[in-house]
Structure 1
């Protein structure tokens, strides 16, 4: 008696075609998604890392690229600094001799017209990571006078005096005097008198004596204190402070 032939293989007509149809499209789509996953993870990781760096740069430590020689020999062109943004965050204020980064908008420069543009935003992000020169409104200078100080320059030996006390400044560029421009100013409360260490090449508070504000930088415009030098390798380490102002009396206690 004959029996029906037994199928030794599955009927392929019941399966999705291997080369076309919904099953094939699904397989190809799934393969593309699987292949794209590593790149998506890399991209997501890069975005998160950049966001973390920007957050750290905004509130903790900011890289800063030195674009000019106005702070030589303390800081040189191409140096990359690490600015301590917590230095003045909890009630402390800048002191005489501190090297600080600040926003000069309204004191050293007018409003930045590119600040709100996409190009300006991209440049600002790159600068905050130390990958580009800082914005034209960002400066690094030394605090020479704080609120209430009387700063006078210069005596017969080219030195300045703060609250009646002559200050020898060992950080000045060799051959420079304290200033080639004489001045006699009193720093208002809540403001700072800023000068570069390479006085003959620094555009600082002296250049804005006749401007609104008289070259004074509001304390709230200070971003942070330069505490570390991160590049080049031969100059890395903590930024040395100065005791040049150690003998300066408090405002109101001046002598002479």
Structure 2
């Protein structure tokens, strides 16, 4: 006479065994494994609340990252006037690198201006330079060498009214590209520093126009400055 094993409700049927037959180690191990699998609770799906919390965390990280970049690396500026035309037009948006600590002739820089406001101009002279306007061809000279400005100065402008200045060490002489519409170092020669500003007042170097998209481009230093000794 034969007998069958009792079958649990979640177990598959086992083949019949002869009376008195012993359970093999392999069958016992499989039974334990089946029991463990059936005992594991189903995994819970992530609810809407978890998704919202994760999204908020990502937003916070993004905002903090953007704030740190703006505070220490790159900051956007809006151009409010015609003083840098035609290089920069009214309402252009530019990006300014705040980490580039070396300021050279030809750089376009944002600095703390004579009235305490953020101002953007082009560096014409650095510490030790003698800047003069003008030679017999109406060109500004730097240490006696003519500066060719046709590539960036506004086409309707002369370089400037006559002036001559020796730039103190650690200071900069700045001018707008649209000379007749720019209030710059020339307008403050009676002030401390003869119109120059301290290198420490430089906020950063403008390196790109990012808006409007039709004018988006990188800003480079005109070749004429590299030709100066």
Q: How does 1:1-256 map to 2 (within 5 A)?
A: 46-88=59-101, 93-104=102-113, 108-110=114-116, 137-170=117-150, 171-180=152-161, 182-249=162-229
Distance in 1, matches of 2:195 and 2:202, equals 14
Cα distance in 2 for partners of 1:189, 1:101 equals 19
CA distance in 1, matches of 2:174, 2:140: 13
* Structure 2 unaligned blocks of 5 or more: 1-46
SS at the partner of 1:245? helix
Aligned length: 182
Q: Deviations over 1:9-31 (max 9, x none)?
A: xxxxxxxxxxxxxxxxxxxxxxx
Describe the SS at the equivalent of 1:82. Answer: strand
Following the alignment from structure 2 to structure 1, what is the Cα–Cα distance between the partners of residues 199 and 52?
45
Cα deviation, 1:194-233, whole Å, max 9, x if unaligned, reads: 0000000000001100012221111111111111111111
Partner-residue secondary structure (3-state), 1:244: helix
What RMSD over aligned residues (CA atoms) do the two structures have, in Å?
2.1
Match of 2:65, SS state, is helix
Q: Deviations over 1:13-57 (max 9, x none)?
A: xxxxxxxxxxxxxxxxxxxxx999988776665554333222101
Say if 1:40 and 1:206 are closer, same or farther in 2 by CA, change over 3 A: farther
CA distance in 2, matches of 1:44, 1:205: 48
TM-score with structure 1 setting the length: 0.65
Point out the more displaced range, 152-161 or 46-55.
Answer: 46-55
Higher relative contact order (CA 8 A, sep 6+): 1
Q: Distance in 2 between matches of 1:160 and 1:241?
A: 17
Cα distance 1:36–1:193, how it changes in 2: closer, same or farther (>3 A)? Answer: same
| CA deviation profile, 1:38-78 (whole Å, cap 9, x unmatched) | 88776665554333222101211111111111000000111
Q: TM-score, normalised by structure 2?
A: 0.72
Larger Rg: 2
Change (3 A) 1:68 1:38: farther
- What are structure 1's unaligned runs of at least 5 residues? 1-33, 111-136, 250-256
